[in-house]
């Protein structure tokens, strides 16, 4: 898991935001699966973790601006359609940029867009995931499910040799 979080951090720091955001948006799913007894991700677990760990950074005077439900819809759009807009989303789109964070932009015609700093968002997600892992890594279910996650290794069961594999 740490290798995955490091890759998100490196991608974000190098300005490879599409890759970093795809990774960051699935982290709550992975954590939900790690704590689930059957090792499966659920929307409810995603929303709970995001609200608890990330949502606190995205609050305006009017209330939460980027909550778990909004993030889950964004994750679905990004992962499955490679889009930053969800047809049933709260905003016309989430706009990832630099040096603008947690700003609702009202466009002529009434559409609302949420501006989120891409680097800061990715760093918040990976930092929260590391904290969560430190607190929960010793739990039996988490340990078992971590053992099922992909790892980078040299070779595969003596059948593939001399190359790096992920399994």
Using alpha carbons only, how large is the chain's radius of gyration in Å? 17
Residue pair 86/74 in contact by the 8 Å Cβ criterion? yes
pTM score, two decimals? 0.92
Task: Please give the pLDDT value at position 167.
Answer: 87
* Cβ atoms 32, 145 nearer than 8 A: no
The residue among 31, 123, 125, 19 whose CA lies nearest residue 71 is 125
Q: Pull the structure tokens for residue 167.
A: 């399994």
What token pair was written down for 64? 């939460």
pLDDT of residue 19: 97
Domain hosting residue 75, numbered range: 2-166
Residues of the chain under the 70 pLDDT cut = none
Q: Is the dihedral of CA 11, 13, 16, 17 positive or negative?
A: positive
CA distance 146 to 3: 12
Task: Evaluate whether 78 touches 22 at the Cβ level (below 8 Å).
Answer: yes
Instruction: Determine the angle formed by the axes of helices 118-136 and 43-53, rounding to 10 degrees.
Output: 100
pLDDT of 35? 95
Quote the number of domains for the chain: 1
């Amino acid at each position: 898991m740490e290798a995955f979080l490091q890759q998100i951090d490196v991608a974000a720091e190098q300005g490879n935001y599409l890759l970093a955001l795809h990774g960051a948006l699935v982290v709550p799913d992975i954590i939900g699966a790690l704590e689930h007894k059957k090792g499966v991700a659920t929307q409810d677990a995603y929303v709970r973790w995001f609200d608890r760990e990330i949502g606190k950074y995205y609050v305006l005077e009017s209330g939460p601006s980027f909550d778990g439900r909004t993030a889950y819809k964004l994750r679905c759009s990004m992962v499955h359609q490679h889009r930053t807009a969800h047809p049933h989303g709260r905003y016309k789109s989430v706009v990832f940029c630099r040096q603008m964070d947690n700003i609702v932009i009202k466009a002529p015609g009434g559409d609302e867009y949420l501006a989120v700093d891409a680097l800061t968002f990715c760093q918040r997600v990976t930092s929260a995931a590391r904290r969560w892992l430190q607190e929960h890594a010793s739990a039996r279910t988490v340990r078992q499910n971590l053992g099922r996650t992909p790892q980078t290794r040299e070779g595969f069961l003596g059948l593939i040799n001399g190359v790096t594999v992920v399994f």
